[in-house]
């Protein structure tokens, strides 16, 4: 189990592993938005929560198809499926590895991005908290989508189409937490819903992912 996690992290960090792809995308977005919208701090402060959350979501989406596609191509997915590790655990570990290499760096770098977008001072805590709570759901849902489309050549488009609607609740509640935090309002309700979504996804989706993976490997 730990071996699979360390292998995936090692692969992501070595050349061509795709670590940093999401981060770079996030950074580019945060730099480009003020250029496109105009450098008005008041305008940027209003749209910053939404932009930051959409950016995090799209950055996650970028690296989803790598979760299983590489293992499928070189045959290790077949071998993992016949190994004495439950496929549910494999799927969960893959999601965790994806979160550690994509979600967590996004969370850590988000205050800097907030600075670029003139995010109001009181919102930073909520930005970090909401991303910390919400990005695991993005990884777990994305792993499910990747399991559904594994084996399809150029399955990336289908993957985005499948996964984006499932991302909407997380996006809505996540951005709502930050927006309410920026206005100094109570964030308890969206925060609880966001946490509920993540916990539900983490608890249920690995079983669905393992099931579709088994079917796709036939």
Partner 1 sequence: MLRVHNLACARGGLPLLEGVSFALAPGQALVLRGPNGCGKTTLLRCVAGLQPALAGQIAAPPDSIAYAAHADGIKSTLTVAENLEFWAAIYGTAGIAKALERMNLKALSTRAAQNLSAGQKRRLGLARLMVTGRPVWVLDEPTVSLDHASVALFGDVVRAHLAGGGMALMATHIDLGLPEAEILDLAPFKAQMPQPGSGAFDEAFL
Binding positions for partner 1, rule: CB under 8 A:
2-4, 7, 10-11, 14-17, 71, 73-85, 217-218
Considering the complex, state which of residue 73 and residue 122 has its C-beta at the smaller distance from partner 1: 73
DSSP states along 82-145: TSSS-HHHHHHHHHHHHIIIIIHHHHHHHHHHHHHTT--GGGHHHHHHHHHHHHHHHHHHHHHH
Considering the complex, state which of residue 17 and residue 196 has its C-beta at the smaller distance from partner 1: 17
Structural tokens at position 126: 């909520």
Q: Which strand (E) or helix (H) includes residue 186?
A: none
Considering the complex, state which of residue 82 and residue 186 has its C-beta at the smaller distance from partner 1: 82
* All residues at 6 or more sequence positions from 203 whose CB lies less than 8 Å from its CB, including other chains: none
CB of 147 to partner 1, least distance (A): 15
CB of 85 to partner 1, least distance (A): 6
Question: Rounded to whole angstroms, how far apart are CA atoms 187 and 142?
Answer: 26
Considering the complex, state which of residue 40 and residue 78 has its C-beta at the smaller distance from partner 1: 78
CB of 146 to partner 1, least distance (A): 18
Q: How far apart are the first and last CA of the chain?
A: 24
Considering the complex, state which of residue 46 and residue 85 has its C-beta at the smaller distance from partner 1: 85
Question: Rounded to whole angstroms, how far apart are CA atoms 172 and 183?
Answer: 16
CB of 87 to partner 1, least distance (A): 11
Considering the complex, state which of residue 51 and residue 210 has its C-beta at the smaller distance from partner 1: 210
CB of 10 to partner 1, least distance (A): 7
CB of 149 to partner 1, least distance (A): 19
Question: Counting beta carbons within 10 angstroms of the beta carbon of residue 27, is it exposed (0 to 12), middle (13 to 18) or buried (19 or more)?
Answer: middle
Residues 5 and 27 sit within 8 Å (Cβ to Cβ): no
């Amino acid at each position: 189990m730990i071996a699979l996690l360390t292998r995936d992290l090692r692969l992501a960090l070595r050349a061509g592993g795709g670590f940093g792809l999401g981060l770079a995308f996030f950074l580019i977005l945060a730099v480009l938005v003020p250029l496109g919208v105009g450098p008005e701090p008041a305008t940027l402060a209003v749209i910053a929560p939404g932009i930051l959350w959409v950016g995090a979501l799209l950055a996650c989406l970028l690296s989803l198809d790598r979760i299983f596609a590489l293992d499928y191509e070189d045959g290790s997915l077949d071998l993992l499926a016949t190994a004495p590790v439950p496929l549910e655990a494999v799927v969960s570990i893959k999601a965790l590895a994806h979160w550690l290499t994509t979600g967590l760096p996004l969370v850590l770098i988000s205050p800097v991005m907030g600075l670029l977008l003139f995010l109001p001072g009181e919102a930073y805590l909520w930005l970090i908290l909401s991303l910390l709570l919400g990005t695991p759901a993005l990884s777990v849902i994305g792993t499910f989508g990747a399991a559904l489309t594994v084996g399809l050549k150029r399955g990336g488009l289908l993957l985005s189409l499948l996964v984006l609607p499932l991302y909407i609740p997380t996006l809505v509640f996540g951005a709502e937490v930050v927006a309410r935090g920026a206005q100094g309002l109570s964030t308890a309700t969206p925060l609880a819903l966001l946490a509920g979504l993540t916990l539900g996804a983490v608890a249920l989706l690995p079983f669905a992912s393992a099931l579709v993976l088994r079917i796709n490997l036939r």
